């Protein structure tokens, strides 16, 4: 797989938006802007739907997104020290792949 060069300097600090992803598809692959936006939207819709359904999403070479159920527990208001209940909830967790971890360490 050929890596496409991405102009990191053109991206906003600490964020990569769906619009920026669509622009990269448009610029690097030559899809129309509408097609690029539809592909990005479809990708995130598919990921969201799978996670909402409780399934894991694995992206090879990047990592795994999983839904985890957290049990109810007592919490504490940090200002007042008052004990408040935290309800049970589902959360999405991310586990980076070994390849991604290695690339981060090399940077």
Confidence at residue 35, expressed as pLDDT on a 0 to 100 scale: 95
* DSSP letters for 25-82: HHHHH---HHHHHHHHHHHHHHHHHHHHTT--EEETTTEEEEEEEEPPEEEE-TTT--
Confidence at residue 4, expressed as pLDDT on a 0 to 100 scale: 53
Split into its structural domains, the chain has a count of 2
Taking all residues of the chain, what is their mean pLDDT, rounded to a whole number?
Answer: 89
Q: Do residues 72 and 106 both lie within one domain?
A: yes
Task: Give the whole-number percent of the chain exceeding pLDDT 90.
Answer: 79
Q: Do residues 87 and 106 both lie within one domain?
A: yes
Q: Do residues 80 and 51 both lie within one domain?
A: no
- pTM assigned to the model: 0.74
pLDDT in tens, 53-103: 999 999 999 999 999 999 999 999 999 999 999 999 999 999 999 999 999
For residues 30 and 46, which has the higher predicted lDDT (pLDDT)?
46
Q: Do residues 70 and 94 both lie within one domain?
A: yes
Q: Tell me how far apart the alpha carbons of residues 19 and 17 are, in angstroms, rounded to a whole number.
A: 5
Q: Which domain holds residue 22?
A: 14-55
Confidence at residue 1, expressed as pLDDT on a 0 to 100 scale: 42
- Give the mean pLDDT of 36-44: 96
Q: Is the pLDDT of residue 11 over 70?
A: no
Looking up residue 37, the CATH number of its domain turns out to be 4.10.520.10
For residues 81 and 10, which has the higher predicted lDDT (pLDDT)?
81
50 domain-assigned: yes
3 domain-assigned: no
Q: Do residues 18 and 44 both lie within one domain?
A: yes
């Amino acid at each position: 797989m050929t890596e496409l060069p991405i102009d990191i300097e053109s991206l906003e600090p600490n964020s990569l938006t769906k619009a920026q992803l669509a622009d990269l598809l448009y610029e690097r692959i030559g899809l129309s802007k509408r097609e690029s936006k539809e592909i990005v939207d479809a990708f995130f819709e598919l990921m969201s739907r799978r996670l909402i359904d409780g399934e894991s999403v694995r992206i090879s070479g990047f990592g795994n997104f999983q839904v985890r159920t957290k049990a109810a527990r007592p919490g504490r208001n940090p200002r007042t020290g008052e004990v408040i209940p935290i309800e049970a909830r589902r959360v999405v967790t991310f586990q980076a792949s070994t390849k991604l971890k290695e690339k981060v360490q090399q940077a």
